[in-house]
Amino acid sequence: MKLLENKTAIITGASRGIGRAIAKLFANHGANIAFTSLKRDDNIVSLEKELSALGVKAVGYVSDASDFEDSSSLAEKVMNDFGSIDVLVNNAGITKDNLLMRMSEDDFNAVMKVNLNSVFNLTKACLRPMLKQRSGSIINMSSVVGVKGNAGQSNYSASKAAINGFTKSTALELGSRNIRCNSIAPGFIETEMTSALGKDKIDEWAQSIPLKRNGSANDVANVSLFLASDMSSYVTGQVINVCGGMLT
């Protein structure tokens, strides 16, 4: 059974990692995919081809989710190209880690702008079509560090904690229109970004997790599919930890 047949999903920051895994799983379940990246490169082209081969419509857009006007323009283009916006996955994000005493104002502001402003920008841009059709699922990518904090990541933790508050408030505002909003808080997920830490460090992390393994991008994608589909029709305003028990 295809859980997202004929639905249209916007996924930001989808050219690699978690976003790419979500795009592929959604397409496998029948969703048409509009995804974004900051530049048109081989990753965008290859993902377009991969998704199209699954029999769905797939378009990669060059768009900066942290820019309000760019986000509004993206929503308009997707409506023109696809005819609806049923699911929004706010996945774009960056890190600029450092101890607070060494963190610059620019690094703090940059992380807040990309991680938090992007969620506001795209959610607001997609509200009109969702309100008109009286349905929609908004999925915001948070992090376990937005729940428990982490040394050296005060900017990142603050941005992710703020996303959780935004999610809960948005769920309260939009529930009467059958628009749901939830956050996913991944733990240690192995991606291209984390591979730079080296195998020893990655294995060390795994041993500190109750399930004794690190997560994969597909682990996050599976929860995203649940939240995007009608299987979660009575779930809104939640922060779902996908962390192997780190926060248990």
Adjacent-strand bridge partners of 36: 61
Adjacent-strand bridge partners of 182: 139
Structure tokens at 141: 């990518």
Cβ of 113: how many Cβ atoms within 10 Å?
17
Are the beta carbons of 18 and 90 closer than 8 angstroms?
A: no
Closest CA to 22 of 239, 247, 189, 162: 189
Catalytic-labelled residue, pool 156, 166, 188, 205: 156
61 as an active site residue: the answer is: no
Exposure of 118 in the CB half-sphere (CA atoms within 13 A): 31
Q: Which residues are known to be catalytic?
A: 156
